[in-house]
Amino acid sequence: MDTTLQDPLVGQLLDGRYRVDARIAVGGMATVYRAVDTRLDRVLALKVMHPTLAADASFVDRFIREAKSVARLAHPNVVQVFDQGTDGSYVYLAMEYVAGCTLRDVLRERGALQPRAALDILEPVLAALGAAHRAGFVHRDMKPENVLIGDDGRVKVADFGLVRSVGTVTSTTGAVLGTVSYLAPEQIEHGTADPRVDVYACGVMLYEMLTGGKPHTGETPAQVLYQHLHADVPPPSAAVPGLPYELDELTASATARTPDLRPHDAVALLAQAREARAALSADQLDAVPPQALAAEHDNAEDRTSVIPRALTTPLRVLPVDGDDEDPAVRSDRTSRLERPPVPAPRRRPRPPRAVVTVAAAVLLVLGLGAGVWYINSGQFTRVPAVLGKTQEQAEARLTDAGLEVGDVEHAYSDTVRPGTIISTDPEPGSRIRQNDSVTLTVSDGPQTVKVPNLAGYRLDKARDVLKDEGLEPGMVTREFSDEVERGFVIGTEPVAGTERKAGSAIALTVSKGSPVDVPDVVGQDLADAREQLAQAGLKVRVAERRVHSEYEQGQVARQSPGAGDRAAEGDTVTLTVSKGPVMVEVPDVVGDSVDEAKDKLEAAGFQVDEDRGLLGLFGDTVKEQSVAGGEQAPEGSTITITIR
């Protein structure tokens, strides 16, 4: 059954602009619709807060915080927010519509993925999170359901509804907000949320993509939480034999139970992921995994939940032996990823003399062959993987590989930490002659731009100025203003003069002009309602679908925005016209007792009024009724019975 037919928003025009076509999904806080922006003629997703929550200021603040946070992230792998506003009791976000599926859908259908596919999904996710982390935000609810894969193959991160500033603590008293299977130990124990909780969740997702199953499972959420605190995520190769050691190491680094042993943010983990990819051969990347762990899971573990702290226990940290590895990439993999010791060779009996003679001849031939190999191939080596390393570390690796350090170039980068390697020429893994030089490109971090003062600009002009300055126009929020003319910019977020990286989205607040009180036209004839709204400076749209109501046919049954709401001059009010009341046959109650008559009439949907007069004060029999039995009357109307 198509439940969208019962949704009152489907078929409506929200805020005089967004035509709601179909319902996509329903969540605990909002419903997502596919809609069309009638001004720009484009399909988008409309996230509308449930009206029952719109009266709660904390829910509205969180909803708008999501919009503002995501609007500041101008990144191709983040679902873009276009607009935010209200229409009567509806609070909404207008967002990019991604036609496709989620990573959860892919895992359900395919189970474990090839390493190349897993990295192809992981890397854009980390790029998106890296942009958020460098902008000062943490997602806090990374899971396959929030990774969208478009029909064109693009990967995007969605649902920043739990986004928080770096370093904040969950505000739910005695509880943890998140999804059980992907919570980092420090989220469970302390409620803290810095970029490393997203790194941990991505490590769990990587394990799930490589194996088709989750690393920690249990019959109850408490059992899963306990494992996060007290058990390491096992290496993926334990579930899928043959997976390369580099992928075990990458998973272990991301899911270290001690936060300090993880990469400090998604950008650092992205560098490790690219280094791991460069170290793998084409056969290793394209190895087809067994499907023994086809994704069977309890959907309850995939929902964002408030987890009572009573389910958690104190974090126990296992000691890790120190070494001289870079702290940014060191993990607690020491104890669980060491390769098993190589057994000592067994002593073999001495071969007969004839065998020795034959072996000598073979070795002579092999020696000549080795000389030919050295001339043709022994002079070559491979460019080592140095992406994400500091310049000093990269130069040391090149020297150890017998290569020269060539030119050192610099470039801006939104995702690679300043002072670390963005790329090499030739690329890592390329075949190169011994003693040849390798050019290094070092990151200077993101290019920064000052936000211009756009107050008083028309919206189209303000957008042009932002693009000229190397910034992107972001979400547009409209507010009433008695001082700024309709359609002109009131201010920006961040404010003018603030430095932001080039390409960042700048949110604009635009004037809706002076507010207009919406008149009450419910119950009026449609023509009269149109005239009254026009006199108030408002436009009228009549909904295609008519409804039964207490009002006569052709009168206005309801309006949006409602009476008393504020609108801007030129805004649109949607009117729904009445088809008239539902007509119901009136039962014949003449001759019945008063109680019997009232029961029959009320059961038929009518109100009942008694007329006793002087003669009926002590009577109990119905002598007359205002509408005769068998005739039609509006449902809910009043039937008067005369008692004698």
Catalytic positions, please? 141
Residues with Cβ within 8 Å of residue 447, at least 6 apart in sequence? 412, 470, 501, 502
HSE-up of 395 (CA within 13 Å, CB side)?
A: 9
Nearest Cα to 548, choosing from 605, 594, 623, 467?
605
Query: C-alpha 381: how far from its chain's center?
Result: 43
Closest CA relative to residue 72, chosen from 174, 163, 172: 163
Rounded distance between C-alpha atoms, residue 336 and residue 565, angstroms: 63
Radius of gyration of the chain (CA): 35
C-alpha distances out from residue 630 to 209, 541, 635, Å: 69, 39, 14
Omega prior to 515 cis, within 30 of 0: no
- In sequence order, the 6+-apart residues with CB closer than 8 A to the CB of 123 are 270, 273, 274, 277
Q: In a 3-state reduction of DSSP, which class is residue 210?
A: helix
Q: Determine the Cα angle at 547 with ends 543 and 549, to 5°.
A: 130
CA 20 vs CA 32, 34, 89, 567: distances in Å: 10, 6, 16, 20
Coil, helix or strand for 402? coil
Burial of 495 (0-12, 13-18, 19+ CB in 10 A): exposed
Q: Tokens standing for 361?
A: 């001849």
382, containing H or E segment:
strand 380-382
